[in-house]
Amino acid sequence: MIEIQQFTFGPLQENTYLLINGKRECIIIDPGCYFQDERKELLQYIQTEQLNVTRLLNTHCHFDHIFGNKLVSETYQVKPEFHEKEQVVMDNSQAVGSMYNLPFDPSPMPGRYIVEGEKIAFGGHELDVLFTPGHSPGSISFYCADQHFVVGGDVLFYQSIGRTDLPGGNHTTLLNSIREKLFVLPDETRVFPGHGPATTIGFEKKYNPFLI
As a whole number of angstroms, the distance between CA 212 and CA 206 comes to: 7
pLDDT digits (tens, 9 = 90+) for 139-172: 999 999 999 999 999 999 999 999 999 999 999 9
Q: Is the pLDDT of residue 212 over 90?
A: no
Let me know: does 59 contact 30? Beta carbons within 8 Å.
Answer: yes
Check residue 55 and give its pLDDT: 98
Residue 163 half-sphere exposure, CB side, CA atoms within 13 Å?
Answer: 5
pLDDT digits (tens, 9 = 90+) for 26-54: 999 999 999 999 999 999 999 999 999 99
Query: Which spans in the chain are helix H?
Result: 36-48, 63-66, 69-76, 87-91, 93-99, 171-177, 201-207
The rounded Cα 64 to chain-centroid distance in angstroms is 11
Instruction: Mention every residue, 6+ apart, whose C-beta is less than 8 A from residue 98.
Output: none
As a whole number of angstroms, the distance between CA 192 and CA 154 comes to: 10
pLDDT digits (tens, 9 = 90+) for 91-139: 999 999 999 999 999 999 999 999 999 999 999 999 999 999 999 999 9
Let me know: does 106 contact 63? Beta carbons within 8 Å.
Answer: no
Instruction: Look over the chain and give the mean of its residue pLDDT values, rounded to a whole number.
Output: 97
pLDDT digits (tens, 9 = 90+) for 51-72: 999 999 999 999 999 999 999 9
Q: Please, what's the b/e burial string for 161-190 (b: 16 or more CB within 10 A of its CB; e: otherwise)?
A: bbebeeebbbeebbeebbeebbbebeeebb
For residue 168, the SS3 value is coil
As a whole number of angstroms, the distance between CA 71 and CA 46 comes to: 13
* Topology given in CATH for the domain delimited by 3-207: Metallo-beta-lactamase; Chain A (3.60.15)
- Predicted confidence band of residue 25 (pLDDT cuts 50, 70, 90): very high
Instruction: Mention every residue, 6+ apart, whose C-beta is less than 8 A from residue 14.
Output: 8, 30, 32, 64, 65, 67, 194, 195
pLDDT digits (tens, 9 = 90+) for 66-100: 999 999 999 999 999 999 999 999 999 999 999 99
pLDDT digits (tens, 9 = 90+) for 175-198: 999 999 999 999 999 999 999 999
As a whole number of angstroms, the distance between CA 97 and CA 92 comes to: 9
User: Which phi and psi (to 5°) does residue 87 adopt?
Assistant: -60, -45
Kind and range of the H or E run holding 49? none
